Structure 1
Amino acid sequence: MGSPGYVPLILALSASCFLAASQLPLAVTTWPYHSAVQTAWNTLQSGGSALDAVEEGCSRCEIDQCRGTVGYGGNPDEHGETTLDAMIMNGDTMEAGGVGQLRRIKSAIRVARAVMEHTSHSLLVGESASEFAQNMGFPSEDLTTNKSLSMHADWLNQRCQPNFWKNVVPNAETSCGPYKPMKGPLSKQNRISAQLGNIHNHDTIGMVVIDKTGSVAAGTSTNGLSHKIPGRVGDSPIVGAGAYADSTAGAAAATGIGDIMMRFLPSYQAVEYMRMGIEPARACQKTINRIQKYYPQMFGALICANRTGGYGAACSKSPELVQFHFMVYNPSKVSEEIVDCI
């Protein structure tokens, strides 16, 4: 099992079914990123730590340009530039490192680890994050590809639709900017909708790993929301939002519309539920339910694992997401598992 030719078992179960005996080590990723979870597992098997496994697994997705939403060459912003967000967290020490709007550097997850290990900070953003990365020895490279250029050109030809502006003039629903604030009473319009977030344009990799000693780590990597306003940083590099790890309780990682999810710190919330003794699937569900009180059709999902290797997942049902696929690797199986959204 786990050889390059191995085809993982696909399990379609309700979230409440993930109650099998806990096993360590464990690697779990959002979405069916087979090569990422395989890489994480191989790292553990070769003696790497949980932190190493998260870094290597997320890096694999960056290199593979998973679905065009992780790594270089996908999801350009309004200027046509691809920028990257990533974070990594050590559940033994509670140290974390993150980068937001990283420019011209392909290895976002590795830069995030460098932030954690070579600074006293937790998050670096924008051009300064890129300068830091270059000082740490990371090469400056063009993150643009023919695909990202084509995506940007198509968006401009569609009069910049969809976009993420509201309460501006000219009307952001029918025209491109530059925009100015609308005068008078603001509307209750919410530009963050299920239409703007789906499996085709928003697919962060979130990863949770627990090694055989019980050390917990988590991380994320993404190129963000397609056609985002330049400067936007989503939930992925934010501790407690994109991911959270605590070796005394467990870890969680999120994917979806970060502009909504980061307001609720879902990964932190789920870990705290598990600390209270709530099993992982239910912890994920309760966290999603909390967000749904304000955003009933929010596009998003969460993976959770407790310190003993129990795991689960939950997702918010929307027009674009009715089931959520995620990957699990432990001593007894490697499987793509599916939960029905709630």
Structure 2
Amino acid sequence: MFLIVLNYQNKIISLSIVKPVVISTWNHGIAANNEAWKILANGGHALDAVELGVKTAEANPNVQTVGLGGFPDREGYVTLDACIMDQYNNCGSVAFLQNIKHPVSVARKVMEKTPHVMLVGEGALQFALEEGFEKEDLLTEKSKKAYEAWLLKSEYKPVINIENHDTISMLALDENRNLSGACTTSGASWKMHGRVGDSPIIGAGLFLDNEIGAAAATGMGEAMMKTAGSAMVVELMRHGKSPYEACKEVVERIYKIYKGHPDLEWLQVGFIALNKQGEHGAYCLRSGFNYAIQTKKIKNKLINADFKIQ
């Protein structure tokens, strides 16, 4: 299928449309894409696909940056953040949620059943329990031992691409050319109790415009929040940038903000993006970030993203 479109300079360009497409962050994106593809390949809705996809990481105790088994904060509590967004710009979010394995599904309930976008803390937990979610202990023995080892020094200095690849973000374009996205995390390891990053913040960790495209972030959330990173990626695509170019420009902005700052030595940020034609792209600050992509022609593979600095 081909589409004739005008870019922001009113130049006519012809683009082949790739659909469906699913893209997600990090190695655990492979398993997430596999689940999402079951819906997309059968003509299903992108919103259902992204929710089902990221739930694989939430339920996997070996993914210690998301959901069950996530690294705790410095007080020893596993606190979760998530958001979800559909083609109509409806969105739902939860932050500082404890004892619920699937915060992305709670976020979807917030979107569909309340007049609000975000619920946090005890309020989010109360809502989840009222909606039938089960309360459970999310701190696994493996993560507890890691926390006890960290306590020996109690030094907050994340290890690049290990402790600060703290998210799974997923974007999908379905057969009807509708976009949706989801983002879920246990947040930065050993964070201060009460800290919330970019993952549940619409515009920072996730944003989409169904006329243009979608973007999502991973890495140290404070950097994305300072730039409204995902929203900026989408706006750059609106003005004619490719997904790759848009991701790269926002990473460059973040680098400029942190250049000369001591936090730069351990900072990692990365973005994935998907436009309405099914083009995808990604870019990160440092080497080591990878993402999973699947289409009818690309059989779910990991790609190492280009980066600004080694």
Q: Contact conserved, 1:197 with 1:256, CA < 8 A, in 2?
A: no
Residue matched to 2:164: 202
TM-score by length of structure 1 reads 0.81
Larger Rg: 1
Q: What CA distance in whole angstroms lies between the structure 1 residues aligned with 2:251 and 2:66?
A: 23
- Where in structure 2 are there 5+ consecutive unaligned residues? 1-14
- Report how far residue 47 of structure 1 moved: 3.8
- Residue number among 306, 311, 325 corresponding to 2:275 in the alignment: 306
2:296 partner letter = P
For 1:192-271, what aligned pairs fall within 5 Å after superposition? 195-203=157-165, 204-271=167-234
Q: Does the alignment pair 1:49 with 2:45?
A: yes
Q: Contact conserved, 1:197 with 1:299, CA < 8 A, in 2?
A: no
Q: Contact conserved, 1:26 with 1:211, CA < 8 A, in 2?
A: yes
- Report how far residue 139 of structure 1 moved: 0.6
1:338 partner letter = N
- Where in structure 1 are there 5+ consecutive unaligned residues? 1-19, 163-194
- Residue number among 47, 67, 71 corresponding to 1:71 in the alignment: 67
For 1:86-235, what aligned pairs fall within 5 Å after superposition? 86-90=82-86, 92-158=87-153, 160-162=154-156, 195-203=157-165, 204-235=167-198
Q: Secondary structure at the residue paired with 2:63?
A: helix
* CA deviations over 1:55-99 (Å, ceiling 9, x no partner): 000111111246311112221111111111100001x21111011
* CA deviations over 1:246-281 (Å, ceiling 9, x no partner): 110000010010022211111100001111111110
Q: What CA distance in whole angstroms lies between the structure 2 residues aligned with 1:268 and 1:66?
A: 31
Q: What CA distance in whole angstroms lies between the structure 2 residues aligned with 1:65 and 1:208?
A: 23
Which stretch of the first structure deviates more once superposed, 69-78 or 99-108?
Answer: 69-78
Q: What CA distance in whole angstroms lies between the structure 2 residues aligned with 1:137 and 1:151?
A: 31
* CA deviations over 1:222-255 (Å, ceiling 9, x no partner): 1001111111110000001111111100000100
Q: Secondary structure at the residue paired with 1:138?
A: coil
Distance 1:21 1:339, change over 3 A: farther
Q: Contact conserved, 1:21 with 1:310, CA < 8 A, in 2?
A: no
Residue matched to 1:284: 247
* Runs of 4+ displaced beyond 4 Å: none
Q: What CA distance in whole angstroms lies between the structure 2 residues aligned with 1:114 and 1:306?
A: 26
Q: What CA distance in whole angstroms lies between the structure 2 residues aligned with 1:250 and 1:229?
A: 34
Q: How many residues in Structure 1 have an aligned counterpart in Structure 2?
A: 285
Root-mean-square deviation (CA), in Å? 1.4
Distance 1:323 1:151, change over 3 A: closer
Q: Secondary structure at the residue paired with 1:219?
A: strand
